[in-house]
A and B are shown apart, each in its own frame.
Chain A
Amino acid sequence: MQPAVTLRVTRYRPEQESEPTLATYEVPYRKDWVVLDALNYIKDTLDGSLSFRWSCRMGVCGSCGMKVNGSPKLTCASFLSDSLPGPIRVEPLDYFPVVRDLVVDMSDFMRKLKKVKPWIIRHDERPLAEGEYLQTPDQLDAYKQFSMCINCMLCYSACPIYGLEPSFIGPAAIALAQRYNMDSRDEGAPERLEILSEHDGIWQCTFVGECTKVCPKHVDPAGAIQQYKLTGAIHWLKSLLLPRGAR
């Protein structure tokens, strides 16, 4: 069995250097270790100054997204054994400003997420006494896939359009808007349409499709965007052809 594996990790220490550099670490190989375990080993025993985000270690929190050997991955779900014999390249996610080492700033996404109003919008709230809003399994099925997003930002890092046009609302935010649009309890679709159909919304997407491939939760943001393009186009056609009352 391989005794050790080499990790080439991007370091960026803004107080010391103006550009990221590469650091090489030798980590013991264990077949049940993921890249995040190796990073924690480095931090605990080799270099305590290495900075990275992580929390749950089981693909739920979405904190440990990084580029592993060039692809955006959750490091808690990337086994060392999949990248043997190494070396394994670990970099911060693309297209986000790097704060330090492997830590990126995702405030841009947070702003965009808020813009698409990812919550249930009702014209009239029912009184509490009338009980909860019931849904059939089919109604749940219509949006459940899009609700699995953990905001890990892998899809943004895989999207060259976001890299080239940073104003693009982006895959996860649109998928999450669609999560509420498809919800039978929600009545906010017209409000979201205004945001999603403007220049920086769905029409920026040229369907590269990589967002869906890298998504660790099988959310399919590319599908959400293309389906919404159909909705947007039909709405536009209706607004052109039908009198106001019939739309």
Chain B
Amino acid sequence: MSAEAHYTPYHPRWYRRRVSVWWWLQNRAYAGFVLRELTSVFVAFFAGVTLWQLRTLAQGPDAYARFLACLGTPLFVALHAVAFLFVLFHSITWFNLAPKAVVVRLSGKRVPDWVVVGLNYAAWLVLSGAVALIVLRGR
């Protein structure tokens, strides 16, 4: 017996279908996946704005005032509204997928998926509450 198995050494007429560039419109799950991947652009946008904010903060009150004025323009308000929706989609879809990656076993039994998802949402709620408290107190 030879070491390598060769089932079909001569197969000139296999048909191979090319993957269409529109494959992600084939069904809702694929479209949702591509949308989720796209959210990273908006997460990066938000991170960039935050870095910009820190930079202007370090540059002094004048620079920070200019930054705040810039944020108030309709373009930035619209961008932030879109970014918020995408970041929301990003967070919710990833939280819901968390139990696939994180398998916790307590005394031999697997912790149910809803507990893993619930802990993510709980942490989100607590952190958002803490941020809201800090921001509102400063007013």
Complex Cα–Cα for A107 and B14 (A): 13
Q: Which of A1-38 contact B (CB under 8 A)?
A: 12, 14-15, 18-20
Q: Which of A198-237 contact B (CB under 8 A)?
A: 206-210, 212-213, 220, 222-223, 226-227, 229-230
**A86 part of interface (Cβ distance < 8 Å):** no
B101 → chain A, closest Cβ, in Å?
4
Q: Which residues of B contact A109 (CB under 8 A)?
A: none
A187 → chain B, closest Cβ, in Å?
21
Nearest B residue to A223, CB-CB: B100
**A164 part of interface (Cβ distance < 8 Å):** yes
Interface size class of B (residues with CB under 8 A): 20 to 34
With A226-B100, A227-B103 as contacts: A160 and B30 at CB distance below 8 Å: yes
**A52 part of interface (Cβ distance < 8 Å):** no
Complex Cα–Cα for A207 and B36 (A): 10
Q: B11 touching A138 by the CB < 8 A rule? A: no
For B91-103 the 0/1 string (1 means CB < 8 A from A) is 0000001001111
Complex Cα–Cα for A22 and B13 (A): 18
Q: Which residues of B contact A210 (CB under 8 A)?
A: 29-30
With A97-B16, A208-B29 as contacts: A105 and B11 at CB distance below 8 Å: yes
Checking B23, B29, B103 against A213 with a beta-carbon cut-off of 8 angstroms, the contacting residue is B29
B133 → chain A, closest Cβ, in Å?
33
With A138-B108, A206-B37 as contacts: A98 and B26 at CB distance below 8 Å: no
**B8 part of interface (Cβ distance < 8 Å):** yes
Q: Which residues of A contact B30 (CB under 8 A)?
A: 160, 208, 210
Q: Which of B16-41 contact A (CB under 8 A)?
A: 16-17, 19, 23-24, 26-27, 29-30, 33, 37
Interface residues contributed by chain A, number (CB under 8 Å): 34
**B10 part of interface (Cβ distance < 8 Å):** no
With A160-B24, A222-B100 as contacts: A99 and B14 at CB distance below 8 Å: yes
Checking B14, B23, B100, B101 against A98 with a beta-carbon cut-off of 8 angstroms, the contacting residue is B14
A214 → chain B, closest Cβ, in Å?
10
Q: Which residues of B contact A99 (CB under 8 A)?
A: 8, 11, 14
Checking A19, A105, A229 against B14 with a beta-carbon cut-off of 8 angstroms, the contacting residue is A105
**A95 part of interface (Cβ distance < 8 Å):** yes
With A70-B27, A208-B30, A210-B29 as contacts: A97 and B15 at CB distance below 8 Å: yes
Complex Cα–Cα for A164 and B19 (A): 7
Complex Cα–Cα for A19 and B18 (A): 12
Nearest A residue to B108, CB-CB: A138
B36 → chain A, closest Cβ, in Å?
9
Nearest A residue to B99, CB-CB: A223
B18 → chain A, closest Cβ, in Å?
9
Q: B100 touching A160 by the CB < 8 A rule? A: no
**A163 part of interface (Cβ distance < 8 Å):** yes
Known: A98-B17, A160-B30. 8 other contacts (CB 8 A): A19-B15, A105-B7, A107-B8, A207-B33, A207-B100, A208-B30, A212-B100, A230-B101
- A sample of 22 inter-chain contacts (CB < 8 A) reads A12-B15, A14-B15, A15-B13, A19-B15, A20-B15, A95-B17, A97-B14, A98-B15, A98-B17, A99-B14, A105-B14, A107-B7, A160-B30, A163-B19, A163-B23, A164-B23, A207-B33, A209-B29, A210-B29, A222-B100, A223-B101, A226-B101
